[in-house]
Structure 1
Amino acid sequence: MVRIEKIMDKRGLKAFIAFPSSLYRDDPNWIEPLYLERAEHLSHKNPGTKHIEWQAWVAKKGDKIVGRITAQIDTLHRELYGEDTGHFGMIDAIDDQEVFSALFAAAEEWLQSKGARKITGPFSLNINQESGLLVDGFDTPPSALMTHGKPYYAAGVEQQGYTQGIDLLAYWMQLASLHFPPVLIKLMEQARKKVTIRRLNRKHFSEEMQILRQIFNSGWQNNWGFVPFTELEFATMGEQLKLLVPDDMIYIAEIDSVPCAFIVGLPNINEAIADLDGRLLPFGWAKLLWRLKVRGVRTARVPLMGVRQEYQFSRLGPVMALLLIEALRDSFAKRNIAAVEMSWILESNAGMRTILERIGAIPYKRYRLYEKQL
């Protein structure tokens, strides 16, 4: 028998967060997230909870946890897509359809009680955080702030009546293989007459972060499932980036002194925490800081990139993206970073996919977002 328990207190939340560590114990590509980061993510310290209401459950057989799931209502999403939307997320379970069925039944019942009839996911907790179910690329570890999964998860979700909404792609780029074909170099040289690439100004960090937010919200507004970043969300993200990202890993493209595009490079924190088992105490903090600040990591991720909507269908839009990638490449090279993940990219974003593939990046992971009508 499968028993479902609603998470109601800190003890339950701790067990919810800890469950994947036992499930993935024998997976060589699993990287245990930092418990402190996961706990804060699922607390009022996550600014997304200002507009997201969520509930979590675990599935048990006897006294043993065998699965988990969340359900969410995002008021910002409802403002854009209707009052009948809802989401699921953080699905992990043993290979047992009875467990999947029980977990989704609990999540869907709760969502229906909130008026939801259109369900999408998985999100942790919305599309601007960890998104998608890994369906291809299980043979490599996840990069920072990306999800991992089991190959049987897709079947477990689909047997609950969920179908593909859209796929997200992660691209892998060896910097030694990064090249700009002559035709792109010519376009980039022409664009330099109009486009200025500059670093983020740390003296005006808060203002700069809001500029990035405005560009992101403009550039992504017509994408599948888009939900805008709030000022508080981007400000909180900025405080985290300030600690983790050097000045020369955030670049802004300007035309006539007006910010029009940006890119953010993030040292791959997962590389630095791989052997910490999710713990920062007693010595995890010191190891993490030393690996990030002194020894350095050899991989990175581009988690954020945006071009204002008005430039996306012009020649300047994709060329600004190329100029930003070029600037970030040089910053990576100074730190002996050998490879970078560009993620995530909507499968339908043919323009950006073409750019990445022409300069040497290859798609190596695929994440699926599902949908269901209740």
Structure 2
Amino acid sequence: MEIQERYQVAIKFDEKQVTGKTVDYALWRFRPDVDETLENILKPLDMKVNKEKEGVYKLKDYEYYRWQPEDGWAELARLASKYNDKAGFEKRKAALIPCIMEALQLSPLPPKPNSKPIFTAVRKFDGYTVQNMALEVMPGVYLSGSLYRPSKMKGKIPLILSPDGHWLQQRYRKDCQIRCATLARMGAMAFSYDLFAWGESMLQFEYEDHRKSLSMAVQTLDAIRLLDYFLTRKDVDPERVGISGGSGAGSHTVLITAIDDRIKLSAPAVAISSYFYGGCPCESGLPIHLCGGGTNNVELAAFAAPKPQLLISDGGDWTAHTPLHDFPYLQNIYSYYGAKDKIENVHLPTESHDYGVNKRKALYDFVARNFSMNINAINEDKVSIETENDLKVFGDKGEKLPSNAMKGYAQLENYFKKLDDVK
């Protein structure tokens, strides 16, 4: 209360946040500037404030993953000073990737199950079909999703992996179905899949398990195993494999593209920022960002060069400054490869954190140009929205889940521990 009265500001907080918390010599930490005072007093408590507007603050726990924009930009400048040509950047990349795989506890990769994918019946719609699919990515751990394909296919077609982000209703959402169905109507195979302990993965794990560090390892392995499977199919063109996810799935998009050369195009949406490392342990719970003396998601996005990459950003989240610092950095890295035209940014300053219609249109245009797809087939009104149960692999209540399915985070931890012991 004294800070509010002395500086004539308002601080929003919940009584539970401050009950029982004290700071020694608090009055000696006061300074003429309210921002400096708040930092001095809150830092010992591992707390901070977000400045919502002039004179209004909101009390929050310390967020390791969210830096002040100026600090993030300074870090990006430090990283940029490490290389000034293609050879220097390739050396940096070669040093970081093994460290990242080690940090993810995926070096070496866990043994691949010999099981075949599980499919449901095909459902037919206007210009596309949908079929649910589950893949065993490690013994007893299943990844679920829905496969959208053109109604008529000839030869090898593009594949677009579509991981789901941290939005309600998971991959069952209307906007997620629209995006994947439209890509299928344009001529691609689009696979929409769950994050770990999200969607049907919650048949095996609790929602709280998604906020634990191994979620990052499992999600990474999910994408690797999907690529392993899809690139054995005769109808997939290995030179036209892309990935696009939004929010937390945008971080996932960047990471997979950075470590797996089989991805030929990427489009992270409302995700990538030099001052935001991912607010969920599935994005930053394992120490990949400590590799090479420190890295960030923008540098990892640069690992895609010279492959086509689209950053979709908006004015309502941590991507608000993308055109000012992050995108120019990426353009510079791409210029090392003579491919500055292959990195694009669609910035929507009046929009917020979602994968809305304008963001989807940016994706359609980008994929159509780079993968030679039918842009004239874009018509979101032609998409039929299915129910959540329609999109499930294992039945309305999980009654079809295989008998060997792992149950609970403790079993997952034990599995990774055994892998570590073998190493």
Query: Shared fold by TM > 0.5?
Result: no
* TM-score normalized with structure 2 length: 0.24
* TM-score normalized with structure 1 length: 0.26
Q: State which structure, 1 or 2, has the greater radius of gyration over its C-alpha atoms.
A: 2
More strand by proportion, 1 or 2? 1
Q: Say which structure, 1 or 2, has more relative contact order (CA 8 Å, 6+ apart).
A: 1
